[in-house]
Amino acid sequence: MAKSIIEGLKKHKILGRSGCCYPSAEKWEKVKKAKGSKRYIICNGSEGEPYSLKDGHILKYYPEYVVEGIKQALKEIKNSEAFIYLRKDYYWFFAPKLRKLAKGLPIAVIKKKGGYLAGEETVACQAIEGKEIEPRQRPPFVSESGLWECPTLVNNVETFYCAGKIARGEYKNERFFTVTGKVPKKGVFMLDKDSAVKEILEKTKNYPTFDFFARAGSEILLKNELDKKIEGLGCIIVYDKKRTNPIKLMKKWAQFVLDENCDKCAPCREGMFRIKEMISSKKLDKKTLEDIFFAMENTSFCPLGKNAPGPFRDIINKLM
């Protein structure tokens, strides 16, 4: 067994389990070593990405491992307090059990304010501090200056679950995947963490008998591209290729970004408006679209705008 929890996270190559895949051990080390007398820990259970259900599944079936993971972080990061930050439905369902498990520990269970964007780590800090639901400038990163300008460790529910498993010597190189869309057995499945998309669909008996494509994170994958491993959120959505209208699908995605963004910066606000306008007119000018994608990816203020173009580009290049 690893000597310390940080060594354990390093040894098992635990990566971020929300949008980005930052090595967890590095994050923990940064917060541990950051200057400041007070430190905070946020267990992020905001899970606002459409279709993803893995955090809810973990909170329902394995809350003791999540709390164990937070306990390990509290031990490792001196003078720290923790928050379990939950989206509204998870808060109503799981807060009582989590509070019971956390009894006697400096862990508060709180309800997320706002929509999808409130799950982004700097926005989560704003929300917990009772401030405006909008992202903060980075740097400084939350590991140096997060909650109340103190070093803050923000990790997803699944990361704390993994830390809990490692601490108890039960970690088995597995992780959770959400499989949904046009599949017979929608759900959350625990499989080898290095599984490729094809393997996940096959092992969960969800490999379609019809022609299809899948969305895995920000990527659109065709049938011949399913050997890719899926990182981050671990959510796979399957679409029937014949019965899915790519224009309608992209309009839905564009509306989601328009509804959930904070309107703070022009590349995201205007860019997505123009994308939706062009999609709705059905006159796709690929060159102009690529310029908008480039501007959004390179000049948006936060990850929502930066990551939004990926699936649109893939759909246009692969399916139209």
Nearer to ligand SF4, 57 or 306 (CB): 306
Nearest-approach distance from CB 165 to ligand SF4, in angstroms: 33
* CA 179 to chain CA mean position, Å: 15
Nearest-approach distance from CB 234 to ligand SF4, in angstroms: 23
Dmax of the chain from CA atoms? 61
Size of the site for ligand SF4 (CB under 6 A): 14
Q: Binding ligand SF4 by CB under 6 A: which of 265, 275, 292, 315?
A: 265
Is residue 176 within 8 A of residue 188, CB to CB? The reply is yes
Q: Binding ligand SF4 by CB under 6 A: which of 89, 240, 263, 285?
A: 263
Residue nearest to ligand SF4 (CB): 305
Residues 277-316 that bind ligand SF4 (CB under 6 A): 300-302, 304-305
Nearest-approach distance from CB 253 to ligand SF4, in angstroms: 14
Residues 79-108 that bind ligand SF4 (CB under 6 A): none
Long-range CB pairs of 107-114 (<8 Å, 24+ gap) are 107/67, 107/70, 107/74, 107/81, 107/82, 107/83, 108/81, 108/82, 108/83, 108/84, 109/83, 109/84, 110/83, 110/84, 110/85, 110/86, 111/86, 112/46, 112/48, 112/85, 112/86, 112/87, 112/88
* CA 255 to chain CA mean position, Å: 20
Is residue 102 within 8 A of residue 57, CB to CB? The reply is no
Closest by CA position to 43, among listed 132, 147, 166: 147
Q: Mask: binding to ligand SF4, 213-242, rule CB under 6 A, as x and -? A: ------------------------------
Nearer to ligand SF4, 55 or 134 (CB): 134
Q: Mask: binding to ligand SF4, 3-42, rule CB under 6 A, as x and -? A: ----------------------------------------
* CA 286 to chain CA mean position, Å: 29
Query: Does position 276 bind ligand SF4 by CB under 6 A?
Result: no
Nearest-approach distance from CB 306 to ligand SF4, in angstroms: 7
Long-range CB pairs of 7-16 (<8 Å, 24+ gap) are 8/163, 8/166, 8/167, 8/171, 9/162, 9/163, 9/166, 12/162, 12/166, 12/171, 12/173, 14/159, 14/162, 14/163, 14/166, 15/231, 16/155, 16/156, 16/159, 16/232
Query: Does position 46 bind ligand SF4 by CB under 6 A?
Result: no
Stretch that binds ligand SF4, among 25-33, 124-132, 138-146, 260-268 (CB under 6 A): 260-268
Total count of residues recorded for the chain: 320
Query: Does position 117 bind ligand SF4 by CB under 6 A?
Result: yes
Residue 96 has a CB neighbour count (10 Å cut-off) of 11
Nearest-approach distance from CB 154 to ligand SF4, in angstroms: 17
Query: Does position 262 bind ligand SF4 by CB under 6 A?
Result: yes
Query: Does position 268 bind ligand SF4 by CB under 6 A?
Result: yes
Q: Binding ligand SF4 by CB under 6 A: which of 99, 111, 203, 264?
A: 264
Query: Does position 163 bind ligand SF4 by CB under 6 A?
Result: no
Chain residues that interact with ligand SF4, rule: CB under 6 A = 117, 135, 261-265, 268-269, 300-302, 304-305
